[in-house]
């Protein structure tokens, strides 16, 4: 009998993953990952839900503490990136450095043949990564930086399901998580707003909101607090269309804003990206494919070329709005996720 360790997060997705694997004849054990130490972290409540599900299914649940690894490899990277004026994606780094590295190693050390998680994605026996079949929940974007060797030891039991069907499966099996809301954002922040939380780690510094012509429209407490394309939270009023963040100058601590969501300054037809990672083999260039520049963006046709310095140049068939340094661009051929890179 094959042994599987399921990453139990306390949500409905991992709960159903464990239930399905159990019904498929695997020997299943749950493993709950803790990556933050504050007592009011929602993870404490999630642990109790995971324990309840494990008891319902009749499987053991163990815990593993990766707070030090998370701080060193994910959170510190986020803070340093924000200080430089970019917008890193901690979920991508967490998958690469924690869940499918340290967490996977822990599962294998417990004698497991596979690690399973509740991601909406699919892998084949060769470790190639595919989109989840639910287009509203597909999470391959967040998994693109994980390598083929790790995916050969990974199962995604719910990658073929739609979310409504998954909740029905959970309800029929009397799992307490069947109607639990999906988690959003960074888990340990809880009900606090992200800017207020980050102020504990980055000092406030007064700066200006500027038009492209240099006119001061207002003031802020740090350019790091804003991202390209942002509208809400600027505090800039006045007549006409809403204002949007178009650019940041961290050295001068200024934020350039433009009026109207279709302002030309918000669009770009090309971008440069660094640190490419490929799930399987490196492709041949030029690469014709589709790409996402953020999780919720639509796929857009593009051509990827490699520069002499190993960075990538990407040209889109149509201009893209709010290309954001620090975020990831992820490449696809139909449902196959090829890999991605960090937007420079």
What residues act catalytically?
A: 94, 187
Q: Where are the alpha helices (DSSP H) in the chain?
A: 12-23, 42-57, 67-70, 76-83, 90-94, 103-109, 140-143, 148-151, 163-172, 194-198
- Distance, CA of 34 to CA of 102 (rounded, Å): 12
Question: Token pair 């499987």 is at which residue?
Answer: 59
- Buried b / exposed e over 82-106, threshold 16 CB at 10 Å, is beebbbbbebbbbbbbbbbbbbbeb
C-alpha separations of 188 from 15, 88, 90, 262 in Å: 20, 17, 12, 35
Contacts of residue 137, defined as CB under 8 A and 6 or more positions apart, other chains included, come to 120, 162, 163
Per-residue burial over 137-169, b if 16 or more Cβ lie within 10 Å, else e, is bbbbbbbbbbbbebbebbbbbbbebbbeebbeb
Strand duo 300-306 + 27-34: pairing: unpaired
Phi then psi for 209, rounded to 5 degrees?
-90, 125
Distances from the Cα of 233 to the Cαs of 216, 226, 331, in angstroms? 17, 9, 31
Strands of 61-65's sheet in order across: 61-65, 27-34, 3-7, 114-116, 154-155
Q: Which helix (H) or strand (E) holds 144?
A: none
Q: How many CB atoms within 10 Å of residue 231? A: 12
Neighbours of 79 (CB within 10 A): 15
Q: End-to-end distance of the chain based on CA atoms, in angstroms?
A: 47
């Amino acid at each position: 009998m094959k042994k599987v360790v399921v990453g139990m997060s306390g949500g409905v997705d991992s709960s159903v993953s464990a239930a399905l694997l159990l019904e498929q004849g695997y020997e299943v054990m749950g493993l709950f990952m803790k990556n933050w130490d504050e007592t009011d972290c929602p993870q404490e409540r999630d642990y109790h839900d995971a324990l309840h599900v494990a008891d319902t299914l009749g499987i053991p649940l163990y815990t593993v503490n990766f707070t030090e690894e998370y701080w060193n490899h994910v959170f510190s990277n986020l803070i340093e990136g924000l200080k430089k004026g970019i917008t890193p994606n901690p979920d991508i780094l967490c998958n690469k450095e924690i869940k499918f590295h340290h967490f996977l190693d822990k599962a294998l050390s417990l004698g497991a043949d596979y690690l399973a998680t509740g991601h909406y994605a699919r892998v084949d026996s060769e470790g190639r990564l595919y989109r989840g079949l639910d287009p509203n929940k597909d999470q391959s974007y967040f998994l693109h930086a994980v390598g083929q060797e790790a995916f050969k030891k990974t199962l995604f039991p719910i990658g073929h399901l739609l979310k409504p069907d998954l909740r029905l499966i959970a309800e029929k099996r009397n799992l307490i998580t069947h109607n639990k809301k999906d988690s959003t954002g960074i888990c340990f922040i809880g009900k606090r707003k992200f800017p207020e939380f980050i102020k504990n780690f980055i000092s406030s510094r007064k700066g200006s909101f500027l038009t492209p012509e240099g006119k001061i429209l207002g003031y802020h407490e740090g350019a790091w607090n804003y991202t390209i394309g942002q509208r809400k939270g600027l505090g800039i009023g006045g007549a006409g269309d809403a204002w949007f963040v178009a650019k940041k100058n961290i050295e001068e601590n200024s934020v350039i804003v433009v009026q109207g969501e279709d302002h030309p300054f918000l669009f770009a037809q090309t971008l440069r990206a660094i640190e490419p990672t490929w799930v399987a083999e490196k492709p041949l260039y030029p690469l014709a494919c589709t790409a996402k520049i953020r999780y919720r963006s639509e796929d857009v046709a593009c051509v990827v070329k490699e520069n002499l310095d190993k960075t990538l140049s990407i040209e889109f068939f149509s201009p893209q709005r709010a290309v954001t340094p620090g975020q990831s661009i992820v490449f696809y051929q139909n449902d196959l996720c090829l890999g991605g890179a960090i937007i420079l």
